[in-house]
Chains A and B, each alone.
Chain A
Amino acid sequence: MSATGSETTTDRPIEHPRVGLFVTCLADIYRPNVGLAAVALLEKVGCSVEVPQTQTCCGQPSYNNGDLAGAARTARNTIEAFEDFDYVVVPSGSCAGMLHDYPRLFESEPGWQQRARAMAGKTHELISFLTDVRGLDAVDASFARAVTYHDSCHGLRALGIKEQPRRLLASVGGLELRELNDSEICCGFGGTFCVKYPEISGRMVADKADAIAATGAKVVLGGDLGCLLNIAGRLGREGGGVSVYHVAEVLAGMADVPGLGDPPGSGGRSR
């Protein structure tokens, strides 16, 4: 990441940090359970969690479609809502990466750039925050299923998230992780890409579904709801009975609800 500022608070561990949860628009609308799981996990590692009511979207749709002024407008809203926390935690590598890119939006506004940089320096993706900042290496949850894991591209390449979720999943009771062939290959979501080029996107997610099927696991986990909605959408269309959860739901022992796109009331499988 190019723009993580220097004003990071990670070098001085805080016993009970005040954490602002940036829940992301997708989790807010589609999967509140991810937000609740994030809160539960953050509280377990001693954080006091707050959810600013003025938060909306991270601004990626504008940023990645070339509307930098629009992205800056959304970014100002996020900065105002979150800059006073010790940490900003996001259950998405993609949106956390966007917050890290905020300083780029303010090349001609030094005051805002300074604020953007300060906030970027204390912004973390949820799972890596738990392991790398709070030192968590095991969770108290069980999920007696064979699962596979998709590495979402932005978390993987912009934030270096690869081993952290696996480390925590290894401590989940009864869980068997079956590595996905091509787990580092994009699922074809890509934000607006998936609707601008649906045929190409559709081929990519069909390939991903094939790789998932090859593992024999009936559960797919990942750390980004955009990718997970795409994958769940394809798996649902194929009707192969594979459920999709955000990794935080499993780690928090809260995968006791239907997976993404599963019929309501079809039940979850954790303890």
Chain B
Amino acid sequence: MESLSHAFKERSVHALKDETLQVALNRAKDGFAVKRAKAVEGLPEFDALRDRAVAIKNHTLENLDHYLERYADAVERNGGKVHWASSAEDARRIVVEICRAAGAKMITKGKSMVGEEVGVNGALEGAGFEVVETDLGEYIIQLAHEPPSHIIVPAVHKTRGQIADLFHENHQKYGLTRKLSEVPEMVNEARQVLRSKYLEADVGITGANFLIAESGTSVIVTNEGNGDLTCSLPRVHIVTAGIEKVVPTAEDATTLLRLLARSATGQDLTTYTTFSTGPKRADDTDGPEEYHVVLVDSGRSTMLADQFREMLRCIRCGACMNHCPVYGAIGGHAYGWVYPGPMGSVLTPLSVGLKEAGNLPNACTLNGHCAEVCPVRIPLPDLLRTLRHREYQLKLGLKPLRWGLAAWVWFTSHPRIYRLGTRVQARMLATLAGRKGRFTRMPLAGGWFKGGRDLPAPQGETFMAVWTRRRKERGQ
């Protein structure tokens, strides 16, 4: 997917002014955070599970080559085929080639963030295939020609009214002409449309929440059952997954599963957890004839080798964005690429470059809420700060900020001059503010006031000045 992250500032301001979006964000606000908190409260061993999950992920990442080979061997043993995609471009090409070779016309898709990342839909449509998203949220944004705004709730930015309009506009061709207003009606109508697509589809493409190395199994979690139908009804099943999704054993996958839904939606488990292991065997009653796995690197092995390795522990639960006050204010589209919120603010600059996405790691108050809820304990604020350091070293940030920082450092390492300067500043500001006690504007400090707030004035004397005077009075 093409990045719009360079326009983060404009996009975020636009999002704040978008009243419909704000309605949708307000409705979603707190919902997931409250549900997660309840789920965690109901599982006393939650923190112990997190430690276990961190250990599993760290161990796997330390031995990633080994487990990937094991996984690939197991897939091939089961009759499937593994394709290695080192770049997004490779991944698109491979998927298109598989679909061409299968003589496909219609392709159904289960929700896949890596699919969004590499831009599978665009490539397939460009090659003349009909592609239908089957996850309800993904289906909605496909109709709206928009990218997801959240990694687990892709259409969270849409209001019910907007969805009703989209369905009304797009479902008439199926003879469904009534304008709907209730959620269950809309879900049923989408289901009705999608049902026929499943049966028509030649290829089903899903993502993977986990890849189990010992058995060559891919695991997906859904709440709608669309994943099952996507991987079992078409002739060909393609799994697209990042290389970091592999775990050694089924036992490990279940440990992570216990954390995933609780962290994401507050459910103990999602409604469906689907395991798929290779094509249909001789005595199976159903299943695909062909089973392909496209393992996507696309920058992941670079992350493995540098200080961002911990980011590869991410299990894509979305808890970080559900608890991020910046995400909560502006929604996901402002971030400008596939992954929004805290995890996206780490991944996006690593994928599309700091020059393009330098705003993302900076647009964070380092409040730490994301790291507090991360099921695999990724130190997101530290990683964001590391990106800021990289940006500073590459001299990519705003020049006035660099100059300001350099001046401040000089000032703070010359205590005598600092004392004098702060005394003058405190006195001057207090005098200028006068009887009001605060400023409503001030030259060179526009940013503060742009936030819709005044600036309290200093009391007048610095603490150091008061303290020195007092000591003199006490004769110390």
Residues in A lying within 8 Å of B, measured CB to CB: 23, 25, 27-36, 39, 51, 53-57, 59, 61-68, 70-71, 73-74, 76-77, 153-154, 157-158, 184-186, 188-207, 229-230, 232-234, 236-237, 244, 257-258, 260-266
Contacts and interface: CB of A to CB of B under 8 A. Distances in A.
B405 A70 contact: yes
A91 to B, nearest CB: 10
A55 B12 CA distance: 38
Contacts of B466: 32, 35-36
Contacts of B364: 190, 193
Contact of B467 (A35, A196, A258, A261): A35
Interface in B120-141: none
Interface stretch (B107-115, B193-201, B270-278, B412-420): B412-420
B450 interface: yes
Given A29-B458, A30-B456, A261-B438, 9 more contacts: A68-B389, A73-B412, A73-B413, A77-B415, A191-B366, A200-B326, A202-B453, A261-B454, A261-B456
B462 interface: yes
A30 B430 CA distance: 9
A258 B406 CA distance: 35
A28 B412 CA distance: 13
Nearest to A76: B413
A29 to B, nearest CB: 5
Contacts of B453: 202, 205, 230, 233-234, 236-237
Contacts of A261: 437-438, 454-457
A62 B402 CA distance: 9
A77 B435 contact: no
A264 B461 CA distance: 13
Nearest to A258: B437
A257 B458 CA distance: 12
B437 A65 contact: no
Given A32-B461, A192-B401, A61 B456 contact: no
Contacts of B183: none
Contacts of A32: 459, 461-463, 465-466
Contacts of A30: 426, 456, 458-459
B385 A236 contact: no
B452 A206 contact: yes
B437 A25 contact: no
Dominant secondary structure at the A interface: helix
A66 B390 contact: yes
Contacts of A56: 411-413, 415, 418
A22 to B, nearest CB: 11
B88 to A, nearest CB: 28
A139 B369 CA distance: 31
Dominant secondary structure at the B interface: helix
Contacts of A266: 437
B222 interface: no
Interface string B377-415: 000000001011111110001100110011011011101
B388 A66 contact: yes
Given A29-B425, A67-B409, A263 B415 contact: no
A195 to B, nearest CB: 3
B44 interface: no
A158 B412 contact: no
A73 B409 contact: yes
Nearest to B394: A66
A181 to B, nearest CB: 10
A35 B422 CA distance: 15
B368 A263 contact: no
B437 A262 contact: yes
B415 A54 contact: yes
Contacts of B465: 32
A186 B367 contact: yes
Contact of B325 (A51, A54, A61, A186): A186
A125 to B, nearest CB: 15
A56 B409 CA distance: 10
Most A CB contacts (10 A, CB to CB) among B9, B419, B464, B465 go to B464
B346 interface: no
Nearest to B462: A28
B415 A201 contact: no
Contact of A202 (B422, B451, B459): B451
21 contacts: A35-B463, A36-B466, A53-B415, A65-B397, A67-B392, A68-B389, A77-B415, A157-B372, A184-B369, A186-B365, A186-B367, A186-B369, A196-B362, A196-B447, A199-B450, A200-B363, A204-B326, A232-B438, A236-B456, A258-B437, A261-B455
